[in-house]
Structure 1
Amino acid sequence: MKTMHTKFAIMTTASMLALGAYAAHAQEQIRAISAFPQALAFSQSFQGFVDLVNEKGEGVVQITYAGGPEMFPPNQQVDAVRRGVIDMQYGPASYYLGTMPEADAWVGSTVTAAEARENGGFGIMQQAFREKLGVELLAHLDTGVEFHVYTIQEPRRTEDGGVDLSGLRIRSQPIYNAFFEEIGAIPVSVPVPDVYTGLERSTFDGSGWPIVGIKDLSWDRFLRYRIDPGVFQTDLAVVINPAKWEGLSDEAKAIIEEAAAEYEQTSYENFQQVISETDATVREEGMTVVELEDEQAAEFRRMAFESAWARMQAAGSEHYDALRSAYYPE
């Protein structure tokens, strides 16, 4: 009887040790969503980040890409992360300018994510995300994608080589309105799903949009003129719920941080290739590029970038000077 009890105790102890070892090595799971439909180039890029984490984190940590705006409205997704309804999210930081004016540092940035990590800008942005949105910032992906102004008809030119957009109704987003107004255009707020119909019916005269995705949405069927140079920069963040982040093992955190820094550079390089290919394709298909040169090009860019920094300054951000120095070195 004593022997049987001893054997049972040994077996129970061994089982508990085995279960403990299994638990210690069980993969930690993260559920992630995107602000964009999964078919768009930006969501496909986020999938690349997910794949990289899963490759590096096999047996330690895995991310499940659970969906896009069909799960939560894009401008409510970060709040869902803050509340722990979802673990991770990828999308524009500028959706939350009313709460975190520091998002304009990315809109008005002229440096890459890798450069911002080195000069301290990224660390300041992490602090802003924690304090004002209640989430942990992991990455600034897909940098280097600029914003362009497209028109249906050829834009008027000025005597000094600029463009005259006076009176043109241009589809916009709130973050670009001040710039559009400064160059004489009338910004029009139209949800992305309704833009194609609006262009088809000539409800407005053009649109602002990054060069990436212009063909995915088929807007290039109507937008036949593009004004260069491009301005602004993508502001796409990967964030995670703070409690979820703190609950991860040190090994899992290290894997995600390593993947984040690596993929920031990879996504930058990938999109430079996409930009080059898209530019060549739309030119071949008949899009005319209206190129501003020298002083006119410099002034066009200055007005765009300064509109973002002026908005942050007006909002009274305590990080204005440090962020401007890091993200908009002059």
Structure 2
Amino acid sequence: MSFCSTTMLKSAVAASALIAASAQLASAEMLTMSSWVPPTHFVHTDFLVPFTEKVAEVTEGRVTVTILPAPLASPPQHWELARNGVADITWGNFTYEPERFVSLWFAEFPNAGTNAEAQSRALWQTYEAYLTDNAAFDGVKMLGVGMFGGGQLHHGTKAVTTPEDMANTKFRMGGPIQEKLLTSLGAVPVAAPATKAYEMLESGVIDGSLHTMESVVNFRLEDSLKRHTIFPNGFYDATFFVVMNGAKWDGLSAEDKAAIESISGETLSAAWGRNFDAQNPAAVEKLSAAGHEIVEASPELIAAVDVIYGEMVGEWVDAAKAAGVEDPQAMLDFYGETYQALAAQAAAPVSQ
């Protein structure tokens, strides 16, 4: 073969490869994700970014996800962003839309647990067993759910240990479960997303706020919240979602759907929980080293919360039935039993 022929052959091969690569790029499904935490937050760096990378990996580049540089709306609007296709994928807090997600209130009750991975896996299994056909979840593909391992009470100037300490104290909170808890204990609930806590504390609108321990650190509230009250099984919890626009999901190939499902569902939910399980102890250590006061709730305060819990369950069962849940008590029992089994499994010693 002549030099000229060889050169032409190499050029043709290179051109064919370039055309093939260009065709693959042109046919790739490029999805957008809206997120409302800063790019330095661990939910972004340790959860969202790895998920987008895995999507590209398991679909061999046929589907990619780009996290937008700024959120397209406030945190409470992120479910609608995905449902309406403004963003292809979003994540957010079910707590911020309580009327729509009555079915999930049970997971935000006191004593929901402190192992976030076990909680998140149990919540996913509960969703699959009881809620996949519930109308509240129409219009999206559920990719994962999550909980954060027990929220606690935080105050700027005093340690809250007894029911009397709660009287007339203003706390930022995020939903009706937290509102019911605070009101029943004599405190004053002030509704706002966690992202607003700093400015509300600095301006004196609130005295304290409800957060996980990690949230005090990751939302940079250490200078404003220096007194922390710990409930052994959590004062409350919150529920989260990662969802994709339903029509966009339907447009993916069967192969790509299967690939993405292999890294979603309980797998993605567990990853959410593991991140919180890693963050909370580190936050406690940091706050303790900085001289913060971290105290346990008194037996009297825990007992008062337990009474409120009983009232919540009764009220929620009726509300959940009205929201289309056939047997709310069975769903609550299923979550509790599943969580306990998973938490015990996580605590069991590893055999050598």
**TM bucket, shorter chain:** 0.7 to 0.9
Any unmatched runs of 5+ in structure 2?
Answer: 1-15, 341-352
Contact persistence 1:121–1:322 (CA under 8 A): no
Establish whether residue 31 from structure 1 lines up as the match of residue 14 from structure 2. no
Contact 1:54 1:62 in 2 (8 A): yes
Q: Within 2, Cα distance between the matches of 1:309 and 1:211?
A: 29
Once the 2 structures are TM-superposed, how far is the Cα of residue 302 of structure 1 from its aligned partner?
Answer: 6.1
Deviations 1:205-252 (A, max 9, x none): 211112222123221212111111133333110111111111111221
Q: Provide the C-alpha distance between the structure 2 equivalents of 1:43 and 1:301, rounded to a whole number of angstroms.
A: 35
Whole-angstrom CA distance in 2 between matches of 1:220 and 1:263: 30
C-alpha root-mean-square deviation of aligned residues, in Å? 3.1
- In structure 2, the partner of 1:4 is none
Does residue 55 of structure 1 match 2:63? no
1:113 to 114, 120, 125: 120
Call closer, same or farther: CA 1:59–1:205 in 2, change over 3 Å.
closer
Cα pair distance change 1:156/1:65, threshold 3 Å: closer
> Per-residue deviation at 1:321?
3.0
Partner of 2:80: 79
The match for 1:254 among 254, 258, 269 is: 258
Q: Residues 166-315 of structure 1: matches in 2 within 5 Å?
A: 166-175=167-176, 176-190=178-192, 192=194, 194-229=196-231, 230-260=234-264, 261-292=266-297, 296-297=301-302, 299-300=304-305, 303=308, 307=312, 310-311=315-316, 313-314=318-319
CA distance in 1, matches of 2:133, 2:256: 21
* Alpha-carbon separation, structure 1, partners of 2:82 and 2:319: 28
Q: CA deviation at 1:38?
A: 3.2
TM-score by length of 1: 0.79
Q: Secondary structure at the match of 2:295?
A: strand
Long gaps (5+) in structure 1: 1-14
Superposition deviation, residue 131 in structure 1: 4.5
Cα offset, 1:85, TM superposition: 2.3
Which residue of 2 is the match for residue 327 of structure 1? 335
Judge conservation of contact 1:32–1:89 (CA < 8 Å) in 2.
Answer: yes
The structure-2 alpha-carbon separation of the partners of 1:231 and 1:56, relative to structure 1 and needing over 3 Å to count, comes to: farther
Alignment partners' CA distance in 2, 1:97 and 1:83: 19
- CA drift of 1:282 comes to 0.4
3-state SS, counterpart of residue 257 of structure 2: helix
Change (3 A) 1:114 1:42: same
- Superposed displacement of residue 80, structure 1: 2.5
Q: Structure 2: which amino acid aligns with 1:272?
A: D
**Count of residues paired in the alignment:** 306
- Structure 1 distance, partners of 2:36, 2:307, is 29
* Deviation at residue 153 of structure 1 after TM alignment: 2.2
For the 8 Å contact 1:82–1:241, the answer to whether it is kept is yes
1:295 to partner: Cα distance: 6.8
Task: List per-residue Cα deviations over 1:278-316 (Å, max 9, x = no partner).
Answer: 111101111111202557536536635864773463362
1:25 positional shift: 10
Percentage identity across paired residues of the two chains: 21
TM-score, normalising length: structure 2: 0.75
2:213–2:283: 8 Å Cα contact kept in structure 1? yes
Give the drift of 1:90: 0.6
Q: Deviations over 1:111-142 (max 9, x none)?
A: 52323444x433433333x545522212113x
CA gap of 1:309–1:53, structure 2 versus 1, over 3 A, is: farther
Does the aligned pair in 2 maintain the 1:31–1:64 contact within 8 Å? yes
Contact in 2 for aligned 1:116/1:326 (Cα 8 Å): no
d(CA) in 2 for partners of 1:194, 1:92: 15
Aligned to 2:5: none
Is 1:124 matched with 2:130? yes
Compared CA separation, residues 126 and 51, structure 1 to 2 (3 A): farther
Alpha carbons 1:25, 1:60 under 8 Å: kept: no
User: What secondary structure sits across from 1:188 in the alignment?
Assistant: strand
Label 1:301 to 1:39 Cα distance change in 2 as closer, same or farther (>3 A).
farther
Q: Structure 1 253/138 Cα, relative in aligned 2: closer, same or farther at 3 Å? A: same
Shift of 1:191: 5.3
Runs of 4+ in 1 over 6 A off after TM superposition: none
Aligned-partner Cα distance in 2 for 1:77–1:198: 22
Q: State the AA in 1 paired with 2:256.
A: A
Equivalent residue for 2:348?
Answer: none
The SS at the match of 2:262 is helix
Supply the AA of the counterpart residue of 1:177.
Answer: E
Bigger share in strand: 1
